[in-house]
Amino acid sequence: QDFSLPWTVESVGDAPKKEVVDFLQAHASLELQQAHKLVGNVKNVCKNLKGPAVVAAYVAAIEQGAWVSPDELAREKEAREAMQALSLAEKKRAAAQTAPAPAAEEPTRPAVPMFRKRVLKKGKGSVPKSGEKVQLHYTGKLEDGTVFDSTTDGKTGKKKAPLVFKVGMPKPVVIPGWDAAVLTMAVGETAEVTIPAEHAYGKKGVEGLVPPNSTLVFEVELTNIL
């Protein structure tokens, strides 16, 4: 110790807290500073420590002879910073070793088209707009050719009453794929429309008529826009 103590054990209690903290940070060992929570910005240390705690740190430094030269204190701080950097590097390395491998991204499935249309007879009339009422004849089949619904009598071949509904409504009146297809047809047109299950009756199907997950094939004739 090549400096004189500015306060005695008896008088340090009357000294300004900031001056005592300044002195201890400049001359006390880093170990003592850490033990008494003196490390850090002087203003913050003074804010967090009450006067008696600062006095106790000063008395402990005297009793333990925990004084160091500026050079020794600098070396202690350098050693502490090196240890902290090493500890941080070890933590990062450990985290990298234990981190789960990133999950493989699932390939994006292409959107299923609502329908496929093959024109059998071209129409010469207007194309319906959303909200308009259309009139049409149709025959609905499963992929194996089984007819499940039709506006044509299966025995006589005569057409029954046509189907009439509003097309392009926010909540479609008919299955979505069929509704979308009719919006592309002109009056007088006859088309074969194939609709995947996702845009038909889906996983549930229609009991007794359409099995679950069925692709449907319709022959549609748009006869009028009402």
Q: What is the pLDDT of residues 135-160, one digit of tens each?
A: 999 999 999 999 999 999 888 888 89
**Coil, strand, or helix at residue 39?**
coil
Q: Which two tokens stand for residue 49?
A: 């420590």
Q: What is the rounded CA–CA span in Å between residue 66 and residue 42? A: 19
Residue-averaged pLDDT of the chain: 88
**Length reported for the chain:** 226
Q: Which listed residue (23, 58, 115, 201) is catalytic?
A: 201
Q: Are 141 and 212 in contact, with CB atoms under 8 Å apart?
A: no
Q: Which listed residue (23, 58, 115, 175) is catalytic?
A: 175
Q: Are 140 and 150 in contact, with CB atoms under 8 Å apart?
A: yes
Q: Which two tokens stand for residue 73?
A: 């204190």
Q: Are 220 and 191 in contact, with CB atoms under 8 Å apart?
A: yes
Q: What is the pLDDT of residues 60-86, one digit of tens each?
A: 999 998 888 888 878 877 877 777 777
Residue 195 falls in the annotated catalytic set: no
Residue 201 falls in the annotated catalytic set: yes
Lowest mean pLDDT among 10-14, 26-30, 108-112: 108-112
Q: What is the rounded CA–CA span in Å between residue 7 and residue 19? A: 11
* Helix segments in 104-221, DSSP class H: 176-182
Q: Are 12 and 58 in contact, with CB atoms under 8 Å apart?
A: yes
pLDDT of residue 69: 84
Identify the H or E element spanning 49: none
Residue 58 falls in the annotated catalytic set: no
Q: Which listed residue (22, 62, 149, 165) is catalytic?
A: 149
Q: Which listed residue (23, 115, 138, 179) is catalytic?
A: 138
Confidence of residue 95 (pLDDT cuts 50, 70, 90): confident
pLDDT of residue 108: 66
Q: What is the rounded CA–CA span in Å between residue 33 and residue 220? A: 89
Residue 3 falls in the annotated catalytic set: no
Identify the H or E element spanning 177: helix 176-182
